[in-house]
Structure 1
Amino acid sequence: MSTVETATRKPPRRPKPAPGSRRTSPLRVLGMVVVLLFTAFNVFVLYWLLASSFKTPVEIFTQPFQLPRQWFVVGRPLRNFIYAWSQAGFGSAFLTTVLLVAAAAVTVVLISAPAAYALTRLGFRSSNGMTNFIAVGMGVPFQTVIIPLFVGMSEVGLTNNLFGLYLIYVALSLPFTVFLLTGFFRSLPDEMEEAAAIDGASPVRTFVSIMLPLASGGLITALILNTIGLWNETLLAIVFLQDNANFTLGRALFTFYGAASYQSEYGGLIAGITIVVLPMLVLYVVLARRIITGLTLGAGK
């Protein structure tokens, strides 16, 4: 190569940085502002909820943003919570919700895990089509099937029945959970299955002894997400439960809303909302890192 050509050759062009990769990028600044404002708003709402749950109705309306005082002065700081727990039947509803949600969430994961494994690891020719078909279930709003569900469940005597609501919870949660777990099973190494096959392990033994422990992060993530979603569910409980003895927390709160509003018992009403919201909020704060890590792992592979 001649010296002239070497001298006239232009250096390679530097690639442009990705959008938002610069520290002073306007897009990054705008995103941070939006995130901070959204976080501040949610923290403010949480503060108002917790503070109002310890206030009298007069304090809620006249001093909405100040710290509670009157119930602490008279020595009854938990009065609103005691009222909601006893008058709204939150005691039995809390136990019912815990048992129902735990049973439904565990059942969903137990059914979805082998289904996702079969779709992703056993080499079915139509596995991609079946996965897409199952994913379609996530796009169907469950509100559109409430009337057919109610008619069908009433025909077999499963309305106003916790077992019937349990079946509905499991059925409606399966599409999302199967779709979520397929990402985890796809990310697992093939070498482990090949080694198990060489050792003579059956597909069932390979799944139970090798693949399930490797996918434990995804299983826990699916279990937590189903627990949070089913705990906060209210519409199905309103439609399918009529007996007070079978009420879940969401259903009991809906009934309590009418009575508390009629009696102007807004402190007890907000305390009831706090009882419903706080357990899942604490669960998410404690396990947020595991949930985000699990979702990122499943989506990234």
Structure 2
Amino acid sequence: MIESPAVLIVNSASRRGQENFSQARDRLTELGVELMAAHAVEDPSTLPDVVARSVAAGARTIVLGGGDGTVSSVAPQLCSTEVVLGLLPTGTANDLARTLGLPTDLARACENVANGKIVDVDLGVVGDDRFLNVSSIGLAVGVTEQLNPRLKKRLGALAYPVATIKAYRRFQTFSAKLEFPDGDHPDVELDDLLQLAVANGRFYGGGAVVAPNAGIDDHLLDVYAIPRGTPRQRWQVARHFVSGAFTESDHVYHVTTRNVRVSTVPGQAINVDGELSAHTPETFGVVQGGLRVIVPEDATVGVADISARQRARS
């Protein structure tokens, strides 16, 4: 059950955001959701401030309309607080919605906000940023640079493979050093890499799976590195990329950990849930149960909300 009062905040610059704002506000009101305010935000850079002001004003639930980048941008304002996130997936990839088992139909997403259950999920940490899905280095950065808003609006999720082909044509490999502060893995140096990723969630890039056992509630980060390798090895990776089974290949480096420091030669931009907001060298970590989020009643993702249980006993 949603915690009141709630504030509706829609990234109206995201795909379908503006046209969905009024529909979401009306539908939530019909469902009995107590909205103390509703904002259609045209400038995505102001979203963290709008969320922070809403929380300071007493909002118990933030109903957020947007894509994965929208959620990541406001995650620091919600991390480790009592405030609940109700997500209306109005972005292009909506990988967090896939991970959480959320409906992408707007009306059904509103119903989930009104009637779903609250669980705790993990948040990834990279510098001052928080991320739900994946932080990537290498080819994924080139893909992000190719993903202009016009391409995403025209092709939707198909924009990702098109952008990948364009990025690959001009890509240059890099080297990386991975250090593990907790000592759970030996430090390693990797050369001639196409991509390196540190993942908190399960899905990214429009529906690709990070790794077969990756989850947003396992308190671990999945780290993988893909070398350029031979043409046959590249084909094996491409063939199993969507399923995540490529991480089981002998030539792909893959571990799980709670903390890892990544440095690269040359220095690399970091794609944080679709936004280029960090740069190597950088340390990655995880906040266990750092975000309270509404999911469907039959969802198996997430850990039963600790805060709700504590309030029930008080």
Q: Give TM class, smaller chain.
A: under 0.3
Looking at both structures, which has the greater relative contact order when contacts are Cα pairs under 8 Å and sequence separation is at least 6?
1
Higher strand share: 2
Larger radius of gyration: 1
